[in-house]
Structure 1
Amino acid sequence: MRAGETVTRSPKEHAEYHRLDALGGVDMLQARYYRQRFARHVHDTFCIGVIDQGAQRFYRSGAEHVAPRGDIIIVNADDVHTGSSALEHGWAYRAIYPHPDLLNTILRELPEGKGFVPWFPDAVIHDPGLSEQLLLTFSMLAKEGNNLLKETLLLSSLTLLSVRYSRTRRPPQRLPAATERILRVKDFIESCPEADHTLTRLAELAGLSHWHFLRQFKAVTGLTPHAYLVQARLRKAKELLRQGFTILDTSMICGFTDQSHFHRHFKNSLGLTPGEFIKG
């Protein structure tokens, strides 16, 4: 693990990012925000966090939620969500972003868990004991050394969270034809997010009219095709930055208009700048 470096972007706001080696790799973010407003976006990982100070307001699963100090926030992988302060004095939180494969592995170890998709129905959880355990885990993960203890704490916390609050959903045996068409378009976008895709080309791939394609795509993904394309570009950008590509090269390779355009989308979705991400 490499320790993150705090980068101050204003007298009050800061974000500290860590890329952890624990249990195959987990991202962690510790942040203090006042004016930050996360645009609608998705992660291909879960987000599991605890509010340290203030309160966060966010959209998830079709509704607005408020998480006060000490509460746990959870966003499922691929859940469309936002984020902003619920109070004038902002909010601070710590969060980890485990991949679904990790939680799926944990669930397979539990009774009746094999073959199910992990899912948390509650966006906000009030559980002081578990919150304290998560905060202890986050504190240990941010330090150097003690890898065995870190992985033990992380596995214990995720297992306890899953046992108490996760539900299981069987993958559908057969998807509706319209959904399969949209998923085919999603896969196409993910395969070449840097391309200058057109509505006509994507609608043709789905076998739908322009209007029906836009409607079906948002119904399935929760995002417009353009918003989804931006998220796909950001996912590719994160991988390139981790591989050592420069911010300028990454923005060009991933299809962003310019570096400032890339910077704005990155911060609006991830809560930190590309430079802060690299330093993690």
Structure 2
Amino acid sequence: MAESVSRKGRQEQANFMHVDDLGGLEVLQATYRRQTFSRHSHEGFCVGVIDEGAQRFYRTGGEHVAPLGSVILVNADDIHTGSSASEDGWSYQAMYPKPELLAFLSRDLKTVAGATPYFPNPVVQDAGLAGQLRLAFGMMRSNENRLVKETLVFSALTWLMLRHGKSRIEPATQSKAQSQIARIKAFLDDFPEANISLLELAEKAGLSPYYLLRQFQQATGLPPHAYQIQARLRKGRQLLKAGNGVLETALACGFHDQSHFHRHFRKSIGVTPGDYVKSLR
């Protein structure tokens, strides 16, 4: 069964859904006019279709515009933004499959060969794929059985990887600085609520504050303080899923108060923490 919640504003509407039959796959169907997404990232991929208008967004070092009928692709952990590219805003549907799911589906694909795929193009024009994705989105909102939903969703994602996926080639070794940056990233992921200073992070890394800032942003696309906010939001979603209250979650994640949490959550997820909780029921 799909659990969803709708949020309607004067000119905006967002429906966030967890598809239980697909392991809690997160799906968003939205119409935005004034909504802007600040720089953020997702643990999963973002695969979306523009149904009306056009969206402007940053990804992979540049600005892109996704017009009507195009498919939006954002890799897991890619820093990206989002806003309207037209006066009337934009409507779209998006799903956020985890890397493990795509790696599982790609086991028999020559282009990816069982690895987590990488999508080099942020926007693709592929009417067939867009149609398959729309069918999948419609099926996820229906009461059809799990087998039907899996068939359409997995087929669409497999087609996506076959036509537009590549294998990301990782370097065999890391430089000392990369290892130190990875250590800081892991610390912020594990303890996002920590009230830690730049000097303390630099000491942990064994780097100067300036060099840490430069290398961290080069590696992650965000400075440490902005990355910490994203880590706090990831922890926040985990706590909300576990049944914790919004205020309790906000404070546990290191936010000053509930409004601080609310503001950052909506700028990254597109719905409020309260709406996100309702989608879990």
- Asked if TM exceeds 0.5, the reply is yes
Q: Following TM superposition, by how much is the alpha carbon of 1:17 offset from its aligned partner in structure 2, in angstroms?
A: 0.6
TM-score normalised by L of structure 2: 0.96
1:270 maps to 269
1:133 maps to 132
SS at match of 2:3: coil
Per-residue displacement from partner, 1:162-210 (whole Å, max 9, x unpaired)? Answer: 0000011233211222111111101011111111011111111111011
**Any conservation in 2 of the 1:15–1:276 contact (CA below 8 Å)?**
no
Per-residue displacement from partner, 1:58-95 (whole Å, max 9, x unpaired)? Answer: 00000110001110000001111000000010001000
In the alignment of these two chains, the number of paired residues is 279
Q: 1:163-178 counterparts in 2 under 5 A?
A: 163-178=162-177
Q: Following TM superposition, by how much is the alpha carbon of 1:229 offset from its aligned partner in structure 2, in angstroms?
A: 0.2
Bigger drift between 245-254 and 173-182 goes to 173-182
Q: Following TM superposition, by how much is the alpha carbon of 1:113 offset from its aligned partner in structure 2, in angstroms?
A: 3.5
**Any conservation in 1 of the 2:7–2:271 contact (CA below 8 Å)?**
no
**Any conservation in 2 of the 1:56–1:91 contact (CA below 8 Å)?**
yes
**Any conservation in 1 of the 2:19–2:140 contact (CA below 8 Å)?**
yes
Structure 1: 4+ residue segments shifted above 4 A: none
SS at match of 1:157: helix
Q: Following TM superposition, by how much is the alpha carbon of 1:21 offset from its aligned partner in structure 2, in angstroms?
A: 2.5
For residues 189 and 113 of structure 1, what CA distance do their matches in structure 2 show?
Answer: 30
1:251 maps to 250
1:21 maps to 20
Q: 1:172-187 counterparts in 2 under 5 A?
A: 172-187=171-186
2:191 maps to 192
2:57 maps to 58
For residues 24 and 6 of structure 2, what CA distance do their matches in structure 1 show?
Answer: 21
**Any conservation in 2 of the 1:17–1:28 contact (CA below 8 Å)?**
yes
**Partner AA of 1:47 in structure 2:** C
- Asked if residue 279 in structure 1 is aligned to residue 273 in structure 2, the reply is no
Q: 1:31-70 counterparts in 2 under 5 A?
A: 31-70=30-69
- Asked if residue 2 in structure 1 is aligned to residue 9 in structure 2, the reply is no
**Any conservation in 1 of the 2:192–2:253 contact (CA below 8 Å)?**
yes
SS at match of 2:106: helix
1:150 maps to 149
**Any conservation in 2 of the 1:60–1:82 contact (CA below 8 Å)?**
yes
**Any conservation in 1 of the 2:2–2:21 contact (CA below 8 Å)?**
no
Identical-residue share of aligned pairs (%)? 51
Taking only aligned residues, the RMSD between alpha carbons, in angstroms, comes to 1.2
TM-score normalised by L of structure 1: 0.96
| Structure 1 unmatched runs, 5+ | none
Q: 1:38-117 counterparts in 2 under 5 A?
A: 38-111=37-110, 113-114=112-113, 116-117=115-116
For residues 220 and 12 of structure 2, what CA distance do their matches in structure 1 show?
Answer: 31
